[in-house]
Amino acid sequence: MNAGSGLFHVIDTRQFERPMLDRLCRLATRVRTLAKSRQGARQLRRLAPDRRAMLYFTQPSTRTFLSFNSACHILGMQTSEIRNPSISSEVKGETFEDSIRTFSSYADAIIMRTPEGGKAARAAELMDSIPRPVPVINAGSGPDQHPTQALLDIYTLERSFEKRGGIDGKTIAMMGDLRRGRTVRSLSYLMKNYRDVRLWFVAPPGLEIKQDVLDHLDSHGVACESTSRLDDVAGELDALYVTRLQSEYGEEEPGAVEYASYAIGLEQMDKFPPGAIIMHPLPRGPELSPAIDNDPRVMYWRQERNGMWIRVALLALIFNLANELEAGIS
């Protein structure tokens, strides 16, 4: 484990406590401010030119890949990538473990996304058993976890409620395919770190959030309730987190007609209190109408940018560069 920040692998949001979340948010803001000037951007690039990251993405990705890639480059890091396993030695039958160990021979961090659950955790376990381990960062592991998405969501919520006491005391609804959506699972786990948060899970019958998440929240005293109707809760929300149907994970689905009532468009926007924000991890499906894209309450474009800043902050913590950033590099 890393003696400096205490952060090495990033696998599951249950590993994060409030002080580290607050520190990451402060660091992300510091990076965002520095990156605005050419001099600041140059200073950031001088932080880690000797570090290399392997981006191993065998599941489709646009935002997560690009924002990690950009985050590495902001710190001056070098990146390599495999996005198509058919051009790696896996086609010759090389095992997952041997591939991961090989990446660690050339890289100082492995950032990985897989269609199967549990793979990032397996890679981290392997690293912990070899002489030269490198940190593993989970960029999405099947339907189970997407921790860095949850961190960027936390940063977006904190920024949006900056003048209203932050996330503490807010009422937040997560809506859509909550059974298979990894972003909602990861974000829900983080809510135990905030005081007096009320969570609503809004899902069509058959796609409700899984019991293990509810049990986790319950055991940490987080107030949460479920409903199948957005109208029941729209009027009391500070934030609504919308998600798409996760058809790629198979399993039975409710009919398309039913999912249509879990969509947001101009008509629904009138139902929320004036300060309520709308979030979505993207990519969107029909559940998010482009007609609302320019509404000031819409945060999904800002989430994309925040994803880059929070990933720089995360890499800075992992590589022990945070103190330097916090002290004000010159």
Q: Is 281 in the site for ligand NCD (CB under 6 A)?
A: yes
Contacts of 325 (CB under 8 A, 6+ apart): 27, 30, 31, 34, 47, 316
Q: Does 245 bind ligand NCD (CB under 6 A)?
A: no
Give the C-alpha distances (Å, rounded to integers) separating 181 from 109, 118, 121.
26, 15, 18
Cβ(181)–Cβ(248) under 8 Å? no
Window 14-43: residues binding ligand NCD (CB under 6 A): none
Is-catalytic flag, 170? no
Tokens representing 120?
């990032």
Q: Contact, 304 vs 36, CB < 8 A?
A: no
Instruction: Determine the size of the site formed for ligand NCD (CB under 6 A).
Output: 12
Shorter beta-carbon distance to ligand NCD: residue 34 or 175: 175
Active site residue 146: yes
* Cβ neighbours of residue 33 closer than 8 Å, sequence gap 6 or more: 40
CA distance 23 to 287: 34
Which segment (35-43, 195-203, 265-273, 277-285) binds ligand NCD by CB under 6 A? 277-285
Nearer to ligand NCD by Cβ, of 56 and 104: the residue is 56
Residue 114 contacts ligand NCD per CB under 6 A: no
Among 72, 127, 239, 282, binds ligand NCD (CB under 6 A): 282
Select 127 or 157, whichever has its Cβ closest to ligand NCD: 157
Gap between the Cα atoms of 330 and 326, Å rounded: 11
Q: What is the dihedral of CA 97, 98, 99, 101, to 10 degrees?
A: 90
Question: By the 8 A CB rule, do 79 and 55 touch?
Answer: yes
* 163-192 positions binding ligand NCD, by CB under 6 A: 182-183
Q: Using the rule CB under 6 A, is 58 a contact of ligand NCD? A: no
Q: Contact with ligand NCD (CB under 6 A): which of 5, 29, 58, 64?
A: 64
Binding site for ligand NCD (CB under 6 A): 63-64, 140, 146, 149, 182-183, 243-244, 281-283
